[in-house]
Chain A
Amino acid sequence: MLRPARIALFTATAVALTGSLAACGAGAGSSVSSSGAFSAANCQGGTLRVLDSAKNDKGFDPAVLYTSGGGAIPRLLFRTLTTRQSVPGANGTKVVPDLATDTGTPSQNATMWTYHLKSGLKFSDGTPITSADVKYGVERSFSPQLAGGPPYLRDWLVGGADYQGPYGTGAKDLASIETPDPSTIVFHLRKSEGDFPYLAAETQFAPVPKAKDTGKDYNADPVSSGPYTIAGFTKGRELDLVRNTHWSRSTDQQRLACPDRIDISLGLSSAVINQRLSASVGQDADAITTDTSLDAPTLAKVSADPALKQRVVTGKFPQIFYLAFDLKKAPFDNQLVREALSYAVDRTALVNAEGGTQLAVPSTTFTPESLTAAHQDYDYFPAGATGNPAKAKQLLAQAGHPNGITVPLAYDTDDVNTGAPAATALQQAFAKAGITLQLQPLSDANFGSTVNTPATQPALTLTSWGADWPSGGPFLTPIFDGRQIVSGGGNFNLAQYDDPAVNAQIDKINQVTDYAVAQKQWAALDAQLGKLALTVPLYEEATSVLYGSHVKNAYLDQWRGWYDIASVSVK
């Protein structure tokens, strides 16, 4: 439900760190790399180089990682009960079995989910993977020492809210996870969750052998269940992966694991990464990046070079950048005022501030077009391409503000996306409609604790929301479900909107276990909520990424809008 965890990097030089992952193809979607014929059967061998700007100084602990669909690098080390389907195009948003034989058997109104493990699964140390290892992996993600992962398990599992993990004297196991035999695991939820198979693709569902658990130190050398294992790891500098000899394609249909070795350079500046990928000299011809997209200046350069353009892939991660109102604070308790702001928005200026049409696409819907299955088009307050200040003024006058209004706007200064450029673009556009925005920049360290605590939340916030898996559920529930309002911090229902009818509707959709049916209903709910102007949807981001000239089968998957390393080949 959250935007994927990102490293609070303080590169004030604005060396555009791709803050929140972005991408996932709405039509424009993922295109397959054009460099030569690729055959899955004959792709193995060679060394893939990865040039990343992330430093990964928190290492790789499956309990702490916050990924979408298992992430890029973590998915090479950790197999989970389910995983995303590794194919280009729309099918890439499907969840498929990984360690388990199927995506889960629901019962009792989707409050109980049962999984059976495949046979012959082994850790990199040769010991067999059992259901107890999966249970232990989930349990340790509840430890305060290993905080950082997604919050759903706490909310969904029976007894999850109070459980504090398996560490310390007197610690118990979590009774709502049953392991009747070494290959069966049962989860008892406190409410219906038709999306459970999607959550089971997160790294928290990776098996961890209790005997090898070193707690906080586990992140440097975790026991692998995936196709690769860590041969060398210097945090902030490099990570070398070699084949896990106990993994085989026969039990894993999703990871092709083509290269024999994967050498990952960490903590590079984005200028260095993009320069090396464009030059593609020597070993860099075998290189990709898992986190550095082309920023506006680089894009301007690449656009002018047809040869480079061929080595660019594009995609989108379903994430909406939007204005959040606090309905409890004047003047946004008045729907007319909220509508006025919706009319006043200049989406062209916002898209330009983001770096132009190749990096951002305007959106009038909260669920963006790239979340195709759950998207329904609507534009109830048409602002046109550059805003309709006249209509906005009229609505403001109608609401009793003939002389305009002055409101604060909070934004995250360290976020290259929703930061200063977008905030100033809004300020300029709103000024034309008599709306004075007082910019209230908050550092990344401060943004979350201020905005997500109702007591300190500003009346108007510029923020973004991405789905942890491609479904309307994690997209809408945290934002519009009244029971998700939390007073102590970590609140994402910024509108503080609580309508029992909507809450009941959410519960009803959560009971649906048929993906397509559920998504249609989420889409309808979004369109229904859109009429209330609870938010002003602004735009979604697009991603363009370069890859080296030897690299094959490089595509951005539609789940995450990023390279699926498990499919890339250099042979």
Chain B
Amino acid sequence: MIRFLLRRLLGAAAVLLALAALTYLLFYAMPGDPAQLACGKGCTAPQLAQVRHALGTDQPVVRQFWTFLTTLVAGHSFSTGPSTVWCSAPCLGYSYQSDEAVTQMLLDRLPVDVSLALGAAALWLLLGVGTGLYAALKPGRWRDRITNTVILTLGSTPVFVMALLLLMGACVWLQILPFPNYVPITEDPAQWAQNLLLPWLAIALVSAAGYTRLTRAGVLETLNQDHIRTLRAYGYPERRIVLRHAVRGALPTVVTVAAMDIGLVLAGAVFTETMFGLPGLGKLAVESASTVDLPVVCGITLLAGALIVVANTVADLLHAALDPRVRI
């Protein structure tokens, strides 16, 4: 277990380092001068040079990346003008554009994605596992066909189309909801839920299909196994067989895939955030990419990568815990 975690950690660190280097290089090569943007439209050439120096973008790229890494690991001091402040590790530096501490920017956005991921996951598990169970237990030609078609349709819908259709339906035609506008749960839980309802639905509806299939397959597989036949032969109630045993058969895969999917949404849901105006990591990523805001871009990539690694590790641990056949 500990060896597994250690190995995972080392592997993840290597991947993240490579990821950061790639990201830094790639975005560094992007056209557009962050100093020019920070300096504004009325910037003169000497002023631009000063701003470049203040941001550190006048350094060679390898050096800049090295500074980024050492800052991350050991912290760094930054000049505010009249004084200097110490940014302690893990320090991702300051945004070129807004001068905010990147670590803080990310922490500010994370609750949005956590809200989004957990709510959506709850919904898609409910929908997916529910329909999966239903489909497995009540088989029938037509019922199967209808379920299949619905699953295929929902599952094929691009999330931004789903978001658009939900917005049109709920906010324009039926007018049962106002246009969503994120409210933190700490401010007003009811408003939080109301405003996230459509984003949750958008993600859940397109994701649930996968879980329906997993659940149905898992349950059917278990139901065909010998020990279930034995239980049936002994006259155990079908209800109990299904809930106690068959569901358990589907559980490991469903939980594992869910953990990984949650990781993906946590790492930033660009379309959902853009369509519903949610101030999350995905939106920040797109915005900072367009302004060549390297510290923010790298910070997000690292955080997103780390979240996905953690989610995958959790998925593995869960899988091992739930499925006795799997060993770490």
The chain A residues found within 8 Å of chain B, CB to CB, are 1-3, 5, 8-13, 15, 57-58, 66, 140, 143-152, 154-155, 161-162, 164-165, 167, 213-217, 219, 235-237, 267-269, 271-272, 275-276, 279, 414, 443-446, 448-450, 452, 486-490
Residues of A contacting B59 with CB < 8 Å?
none
- Across the interface, do B40 and A269 meet the contact criterion of CB distance under 8 Å? no
**Cβ of B44 under 8 Å from chain A:** yes
- Across the interface, do B179 and A271 meet the contact criterion of CB distance under 8 Å? yes
Contact of B291 among A8, A150, A452 (CB under 8 A): A8
- Across the interface, do B181 and A272 meet the contact criterion of CB distance under 8 Å? yes
**Cβ of B194 under 8 Å from chain A:** no
Instruction: Give chain B interface residues in 46-65, CB to chain A under 8 Å.
Output: 46-48, 50-51, 53-54
Q: How close is B53's CB to chain A, nearest CB, in angstroms? A: 7
- Across the interface, do A448 and B108 meet the contact criterion of CB distance under 8 Å? no
Q: For the complex, what is the distance from the CA of A140 to the CA of B80, rounded to whole Å?
A: 12
- Across the interface, do B290 and A414 meet the contact criterion of CB distance under 8 Å? yes
Residues of B contacting A144 with CB < 8 Å?
47, 50-51, 53-54
Contact of A148 among B39, B79, B171, B179 (CB under 8 A): B39
Residue of A with least CB distance to B40: A148
Among the listed stretches B9-17, B29-37, B145-153, B201-209, which one makes contact with chain A, having 4 or more residues with CB under 8 Å of it?
B29-37
Residues of B contacting A452 with CB < 8 Å?
41
Residues 76-101 of chain B: 1 if any A CB is under 8 Å from the residue's CB, otherwise 0? 00011111010000000000011110
- Across the interface, do B37 and A216 meet the contact criterion of CB distance under 8 Å? no
- Across the interface, do A146 and B277 meet the contact criterion of CB distance under 8 Å? no
Instruction: Give chain B interface residues in 261-294, CB to chain A under 8 Å.
Output: 274-275, 277, 279, 286-287, 289-292
Which 6 A-B residue pairings sit nearest by Cβ, starting from the closest? Answer: A215-B81, A488-B45, A445-B32, A151-B42, A144-B50, A269-B277
- Across the interface, do A486 and B45 meet the contact criterion of CB distance under 8 Å? yes
Once A1-B42, A147-B51, A488-B48 are accepted as A-B contacts, the answer to whether A217 and B80 lie under 8 Å apart by CB is yes
**Cβ of B158 under 8 Å from chain A:** no
Residues of B contacting A213 with CB < 8 Å?
81-82
Residues of B contacting A149 with CB < 8 Å?
40, 42
Main secondary structure of the interface of A (DSSP, over half): loop
Q: How close is A418's CB to chain B, nearest CB, in angstroms? A: 14
Residues of B contacting A146 with CB < 8 Å?
81
Task: List 8 interface pairs A-B (beta carbons < 8 Å), by A numbering.
Answer: A12-B274, A147-B43, A149-B42, A151-B43, A152-B42, A167-B82, A275-B171, A448-B41
Residues of A contacting B100 with CB < 8 Å?
57, 235
Residues of B contacting A444 with CB < 8 Å?
37, 290-291
Residues of B contacting A58 with CB < 8 Å?
97-99
Once A5-B40, A267-B279 are accepted as A-B contacts, the answer to whether A13 and B290 lie under 8 Å apart by CB is no
Contact of B179 among A8, A236, A275, A487 (CB under 8 A): A275
- Across the interface, do B37 and A8 meet the contact criterion of CB distance under 8 Å? yes
**Cβ of B120 under 8 Å from chain A:** no
Residues of A contacting B290 with CB < 8 Å?
8, 10, 414, 443-445
- Across the interface, do B42 and A445 meet the contact criterion of CB distance under 8 Å? no
Residues of A contacting B33 with CB < 8 Å?
445, 449
Residue of A with least CB distance to B42: A151
Once A66-B41, A147-B43, A147-B47 are accepted as A-B contacts, the answer to whether A268 and B80 lie under 8 Å apart by CB is no
Q: For the complex, what is the distance from the CA of A146 to the CA of B43, rounded to whole Å?
A: 12
Q: For the complex, what is the distance from the CA of A73 to the CA of B119, rounded to whole Å?
A: 36
Q: For the complex, what is the distance from the CA of A161 to the CA of B46, rounded to whole Å?
A: 8
Q: For the complex, what is the distance from the CA of A66 to the CA of B40, rounded to whole Å?
A: 8
Q: For the complex, what is the distance from the CA of A215 to the CA of B99, rounded to whole Å?
A: 11
Q: For the complex, what is the distance from the CA of A529 to the CA of B275, rounded to whole Å?
A: 46
Q: For the complex, what is the distance from the CA of A13 to the CA of B282, rounded to whole Å?
A: 14
**Cβ of B223 under 8 Å from chain A:** no
Q: For the complex, what is the distance from the CA of A490 to the CA of B45, rounded to whole Å?
A: 7
Indicate the size class of the contact surface on chain B.
35 or more
**Cβ of B169 under 8 Å from chain A:** no
Residues of A contacting B171 with CB < 8 Å?
275
Residues 166-182 of chain B: 1 if any A CB is under 8 Å from the residue's CB, otherwise 0? 00000100000011110
**Cβ of B220 under 8 Å from chain A:** no
Once A2-B42, A58-B98, A486-B44 are accepted as A-B contacts, the answer to whether A140 and B274 lie under 8 Å apart by CB is no
Residues of A contacting B287 with CB < 8 Å?
9-10
Residues of B contacting A215 with CB < 8 Å?
79-83
Q: For the complex, what is the distance from the CA of A58 to the CA of B80, rounded to whole Å?
A: 14
**Cβ of B246 under 8 Å from chain A:** no
**Cβ of B38 under 8 Å from chain A:** yes
- Across the interface, do B36 and A214 meet the contact criterion of CB distance under 8 Å? no
Contact of B44 among A5, A154, A214, A237 (CB under 8 A): A154
Q: For the complex, what is the distance from the CA of A155 to the CA of B44, rounded to whole Å?
A: 9
Q: How close is A21's CB to chain B, nearest CB, in angstroms? A: 13
Contact of A145 among B54, B181, B275, B277 (CB under 8 A): B54
Q: How close is B194's CB to chain A, nearest CB, in angstroms? A: 13
Instruction: Determine which residue in B47, B79, B82, B179 has the highest number of CB atoms from chain A within 10 A of its CB, and name it.
Output: B82
Residues 222-264 of chain B: 1 if any A CB is under 8 Å from the residue's CB, otherwise 0? 0000000000000000000000000000000000000000000
Residue of A with least CB distance to B275: A13
Q: How close is A219's CB to chain B, nearest CB, in angstroms? A: 8
Instruction: Determine which residue in B44, B53, B97 has the highest number of CB atoms from chain A within 10 A of its CB, and name it.
Output: B44
- Across the interface, do B32 and A145 meet the contact criterion of CB distance under 8 Å? no
- Across the interface, do A445 and B48 meet the contact criterion of CB distance under 8 Å? no
Q: For the complex, what is the distance from the CA of A11 to the CA of B273, rounded to whole Å?
A: 11
Once A66-B41, A144-B54 are accepted as A-B contacts, the answer to whether A489 and B48 lie under 8 Å apart by CB is yes
Q: For the complex, what is the distance from the CA of A146 to the CA of B32, rounded to whole Å?
A: 20
Residue of A with least CB distance to B44: A490
- Across the interface, do B82 and A489 meet the contact criterion of CB distance under 8 Å? no
Residues of B contacting A219 with CB < 8 Å?
99
Q: For the complex, what is the distance from the CA of A269 to the CA of B199, rounded to whole Å?
A: 15
Q: For the complex, what is the distance from the CA of A404 to the CA of B147, rounded to whole Å?
A: 61
Contact of B50 among A140, A155, A164, A275 (CB under 8 A): A164
Residues of A contacting B30 with CB < 8 Å?
445
Q: For the complex, what is the distance from the CA of A215 to the CA of B85, rounded to whole Å?
A: 11
Residues of A contacting B31 with CB < 8 Å?
443, 445-446, 449-450
Residue of B with least CB distance to A13: B274
